[in-house]
Amino acid sequence: MALLEIDHINTAYDRIDVLEDVSIKVERGQITCILGANGAGKSTLIRSILGLTPANRGKIIFNGADITHLPTHRIIGQGIACVPEGRRVFPRMTVDENLSVGAYLVGDQKVIQERRDRVKTLFPRLAERANQLAGTMSGGEQAMLAIGRSLMSSPELLIFDEPSLGLSPLFVKENFKIIKEINEMSTTVLLVEQNVRQTLAIAHCGYVIAKGQVVAQGSASELAENSEVQAAYFG
Protein backbone atom coordinates (compact mmCIF):
# COMPACT_ATOMS: atom_id res chain seq x y z
CA MET A 1 0.00 0.00 0.00
CA ALA A 2 1.21 3.51 -0.84
CA LEU A 3 2.34 5.67 2.10
CA LEU A 4 0.39 8.63 0.66
CA GLU A 5 -2.53 8.30 -1.73
CA ILE A 6 -4.25 11.33 -3.22
CA ASP A 7 -7.53 10.12 -4.66
CA HIS A 8 -9.36 12.29 -7.22
CA ILE A 9 -9.12 15.55 -5.27
CA ASN A 10 -10.38 18.97 -6.30
CA THR A 11 -9.13 22.03 -4.46
CA ALA A 12 -10.53 25.51 -5.06
CA TYR A 13 -9.79 29.13 -4.20
CA ASP A 14 -12.82 31.42 -4.20
CA ARG A 15 -14.90 28.65 -5.85
CA ILE A 16 -12.45 28.39 -8.77
CA ASP A 17 -10.90 24.93 -9.06
CA VAL A 18 -7.10 24.98 -8.98
CA LEU A 19 -6.69 21.20 -8.78
CA GLU A 20 -9.08 19.06 -10.80
CA ASP A 21 -9.45 15.31 -10.29
CA VAL A 22 -5.83 14.85 -9.19
CA SER A 23 -4.73 11.35 -8.19
CA ILE A 24 -1.18 10.62 -7.03
CA LYS A 25 0.50 7.79 -5.12
CA VAL A 26 3.68 8.14 -3.11
CA GLU A 27 5.16 4.71 -2.54
CA ARG A 28 6.86 4.01 0.77
CA GLY A 29 10.65 4.33 0.62
CA GLN A 30 10.77 6.11 -2.73
CA ILE A 31 11.37 9.62 -4.06
CA THR A 32 8.25 10.67 -5.95
CA CYS A 33 8.48 13.94 -7.86
CA ILE A 34 5.85 16.44 -8.93
CA LEU A 35 6.94 18.49 -11.95
CA GLY A 36 5.23 21.52 -13.38
CA ALA A 37 5.67 25.16 -14.31
CA ASN A 38 4.72 28.12 -12.13
CA GLY A 39 0.96 28.25 -11.66
CA ALA A 40 0.47 24.57 -12.49
CA GLY A 41 -0.98 23.79 -9.06
CA LYS A 42 2.06 22.28 -7.33
CA SER A 43 1.91 24.54 -4.27
CA THR A 44 -1.84 24.03 -3.97
CA LEU A 45 -1.23 20.28 -3.93
CA ILE A 46 1.17 20.67 -1.01
CA ARG A 47 -1.30 22.93 0.81
CA SER A 48 -4.02 20.32 0.33
CA ILE A 49 -1.83 17.55 1.75
CA LEU A 50 -0.96 19.69 4.79
CA GLY A 51 -4.55 20.78 5.37
CA LEU A 52 -3.78 24.46 4.75
CA THR A 53 -6.19 24.57 1.80
CA PRO A 54 -8.32 21.43 2.20
CA ALA A 55 -9.62 19.57 -0.83
CA ASN A 56 -13.33 20.06 -1.40
CA ARG A 57 -13.67 16.73 -3.16
CA GLY A 58 -11.80 13.43 -3.08
CA LYS A 59 -9.62 11.92 -0.35
CA ILE A 60 -6.06 12.09 0.93
CA ILE A 61 -4.96 8.90 2.66
CA PHE A 62 -1.73 8.73 4.69
CA ASN A 63 -0.54 5.49 6.22
CA GLY A 64 -4.01 4.04 5.69
CA ALA A 65 -5.82 6.90 7.49
CA ASP A 66 -7.99 9.59 5.92
CA ILE A 67 -6.33 12.96 6.64
CA THR A 68 -8.34 15.00 4.10
CA HIS A 69 -10.03 17.25 6.63
CA LEU A 70 -7.68 17.05 9.60
CA PRO A 71 -6.20 20.30 10.94
CA THR A 72 -2.59 20.93 9.96
CA HIS A 73 -1.07 20.23 13.38
CA ARG A 74 -2.68 16.79 13.45
CA ILE A 75 -1.45 16.02 9.92
CA ILE A 76 2.09 16.96 10.98
CA GLY A 77 1.63 14.76 14.03
CA GLN A 78 0.81 11.80 11.76
CA GLY A 79 4.38 11.90 10.41
CA ILE A 80 4.51 14.43 7.56
CA ALA A 81 6.96 17.33 7.40
CA CYS A 82 7.61 19.98 4.74
CA VAL A 83 10.66 21.99 3.73
CA PRO A 84 8.90 25.12 2.44
CA GLU A 85 9.70 27.10 -0.67
CA GLY A 86 12.13 29.91 0.11
CA ARG A 87 13.43 28.09 3.23
CA ARG A 88 11.65 30.39 5.77
CA VAL A 89 13.91 29.94 8.75
CA PHE A 90 13.36 32.04 11.88
CA PRO A 91 15.99 34.75 11.29
CA ARG A 92 16.27 36.04 14.87
CA MET A 93 16.66 32.60 16.35
CA THR A 94 19.89 30.60 16.47
CA VAL A 95 20.53 27.45 14.49
CA ASP A 96 19.90 25.29 17.57
CA GLU A 97 16.70 27.19 18.38
CA ASN A 98 15.44 26.71 14.82
CA LEU A 99 16.15 22.99 15.07
CA SER A 100 14.28 22.78 18.37
CA VAL A 101 11.20 24.33 16.73
CA GLY A 102 11.13 21.34 14.37
CA ALA A 103 10.75 19.02 17.37
CA TYR A 104 7.96 20.96 19.10
CA LEU A 105 5.76 17.84 19.26
CA VAL A 106 8.55 15.84 20.97
CA GLY A 107 8.48 15.98 24.77
CA ASP A 108 11.66 14.03 25.52
CA GLN A 109 14.72 16.29 25.66
CA LYS A 110 17.05 13.32 25.21
CA VAL A 111 15.29 12.40 21.95
CA ILE A 112 15.48 16.02 20.79
CA GLN A 113 19.22 16.12 21.46
CA GLU A 114 19.76 12.81 19.64
CA ARG A 115 17.91 14.14 16.61
CA ARG A 116 19.82 17.43 16.73
CA ASP A 117 23.10 15.50 16.78
CA ARG A 118 21.93 13.40 13.81
CA VAL A 119 21.08 16.54 11.83
CA LYS A 120 24.49 18.04 12.60
CA THR A 121 26.17 14.85 11.40
CA LEU A 122 24.30 15.21 8.12
CA PHE A 123 25.07 18.96 7.98
CA PRO A 124 28.43 19.62 9.72
CA ARG A 125 28.13 23.32 8.91
CA LEU A 126 25.11 23.56 11.22
CA ALA A 127 27.24 22.17 14.04
CA GLU A 128 29.81 24.90 13.38
CA ARG A 129 27.10 27.58 13.49
CA ALA A 130 24.95 26.22 16.32
CA ASN A 131 24.75 29.57 18.13
CA GLN A 132 24.62 31.80 15.04
CA LEU A 133 21.45 33.71 14.19
CA ALA A 134 19.80 32.04 11.20
CA GLY A 135 19.20 35.37 9.47
CA THR A 136 22.94 36.00 9.20
CA MET A 137 23.61 32.76 7.31
CA SER A 138 23.97 32.36 3.55
CA GLY A 139 21.09 31.12 1.42
CA GLY A 140 22.67 27.70 1.09
CA GLU A 141 23.21 27.42 4.84
CA GLN A 142 19.61 28.45 5.49
CA ALA A 143 18.50 25.73 3.08
CA MET A 144 20.46 23.20 5.14
CA LEU A 145 18.83 24.52 8.30
CA ALA A 146 15.33 24.30 6.82
CA ILE A 147 15.94 20.66 5.89
CA GLY A 148 17.48 19.92 9.27
CA ARG A 149 14.54 21.52 11.09
CA SER A 150 12.09 19.32 9.16
CA LEU A 151 14.07 16.19 10.05
CA MET A 152 13.75 16.97 13.77
CA SER A 153 10.22 15.56 13.76
CA SER A 154 11.56 12.27 12.29
CA PRO A 155 8.90 12.27 9.57
CA GLU A 156 7.82 9.25 7.57
CA LEU A 157 7.12 11.54 4.61
CA LEU A 158 9.22 14.63 3.85
CA ILE A 159 7.86 17.08 1.28
CA PHE A 160 10.30 19.41 -0.48
CA ASP A 161 8.75 22.50 -2.09
CA GLU A 162 11.08 23.88 -4.81
CA PRO A 163 14.34 23.16 -2.92
CA SER A 164 16.51 24.58 -5.72
CA LEU A 165 14.77 27.96 -5.78
CA GLY A 166 17.17 30.89 -5.33
CA LEU A 167 20.26 28.77 -4.74
CA SER A 168 23.56 28.79 -6.60
CA PRO A 169 24.24 25.81 -8.90
CA LEU A 170 26.73 24.45 -6.35
CA PHE A 171 24.19 24.47 -3.52
CA VAL A 172 21.48 23.07 -5.81
CA LYS A 173 23.72 20.08 -6.53
CA GLU A 174 24.48 19.68 -2.82
CA ASN A 175 20.78 19.94 -1.92
CA PHE A 176 19.77 17.17 -4.31
CA LYS A 177 22.59 14.99 -3.00
CA ILE A 178 21.26 15.51 0.55
CA ILE A 179 17.69 14.70 -0.54
CA LYS A 180 18.91 11.41 -2.00
CA GLU A 181 20.82 10.62 1.20
CA ILE A 182 17.75 11.37 3.34
CA ASN A 183 15.73 8.97 1.21
CA GLU A 184 18.42 6.31 1.53
CA MET A 185 18.08 6.71 5.32
CA SER A 186 14.52 5.32 4.91
CA THR A 187 12.54 8.57 4.69
CA THR A 188 9.95 8.68 1.90
CA VAL A 189 10.25 11.88 -0.15
CA LEU A 190 7.77 13.91 -2.19
CA LEU A 191 9.85 16.31 -4.28
CA VAL A 192 8.00 19.22 -5.88
CA GLU A 193 10.27 20.99 -8.36
CA GLN A 194 10.79 22.84 -11.63
CA ASN A 195 14.40 21.70 -12.00
CA VAL A 196 13.54 18.69 -14.14
CA ARG A 197 17.01 17.34 -14.96
CA GLN A 198 18.23 17.26 -11.35
CA THR A 199 14.90 15.93 -10.10
CA LEU A 200 14.61 13.04 -12.54
CA ALA A 201 18.23 12.12 -11.80
CA ILE A 202 17.31 11.15 -8.21
CA ALA A 203 13.57 10.37 -8.34
CA HIS A 204 12.13 6.88 -8.68
CA CYS A 205 8.89 8.01 -10.30
CA GLY A 206 6.83 11.11 -10.79
CA TYR A 207 3.92 13.09 -12.12
CA VAL A 208 3.65 16.17 -14.32
CA ILE A 209 0.96 18.71 -13.46
CA ALA A 210 -0.33 21.37 -15.87
CA LYS A 211 -3.28 23.67 -15.25
CA GLY A 212 -4.25 21.76 -12.14
CA GLN A 213 -4.35 18.31 -13.73
CA VAL A 214 -1.99 15.35 -13.98
CA VAL A 215 -0.92 15.20 -17.63
CA ALA A 216 1.84 12.58 -17.41
CA GLN A 217 3.12 10.00 -14.96
CA GLY A 218 5.59 7.13 -14.83
CA SER A 219 9.07 6.15 -13.71
CA ALA A 220 11.78 8.80 -13.81
CA SER A 221 13.24 7.26 -16.98
CA GLU A 222 9.80 7.13 -18.63
CA LEU A 223 9.18 10.80 -17.85
CA ALA A 224 12.62 11.76 -19.18
CA GLU A 225 11.78 10.03 -22.46
CA ASN A 226 8.18 11.32 -22.64
CA SER A 227 7.86 13.50 -25.76
CA GLU A 228 5.59 16.05 -24.07
CA VAL A 229 7.94 16.37 -21.11
CA GLN A 230 10.94 16.70 -23.43
CA ALA A 231 9.20 19.40 -25.47
CA ALA A 232 8.12 21.34 -22.36
CA TYR A 233 11.31 21.08 -20.31
CA PHE A 234 14.21 19.98 -22.46
CA GLY A 235 13.48 21.97 -25.61
pLDDT averages per 10-residue partition of the chain, 235 residues? 94 86 97 91 94 95 96 93 85 94 83 91 92 91 91 94 83 88 94 90 95 93 84 64
Q: Identify the pLDDT of residue 106.
A: 80
CB 85 within 8 A of CB 165: yes
What domains can be seen in the chain, in order of their start residue?
A: 4-234 (3.40.50.300)
Q: Identify the pLDDT of residue 233.
A: 67
Task: State pTM to two decimals.
Answer: 0.91
Give burial (CB, 10 Å; 0-12/13-18/19+) of 166: middle
State the DSSP H helix or E strand holding residue 210, giving kind and residue range, or none if neither: strand 205-210
CB 133 within 8 A of CB 94: yes
Helices (H), the chain: 42-49, 72-79, 95-101, 109-122, 124-128, 139-151, 169-184, 196-202, 220-225, 227-229
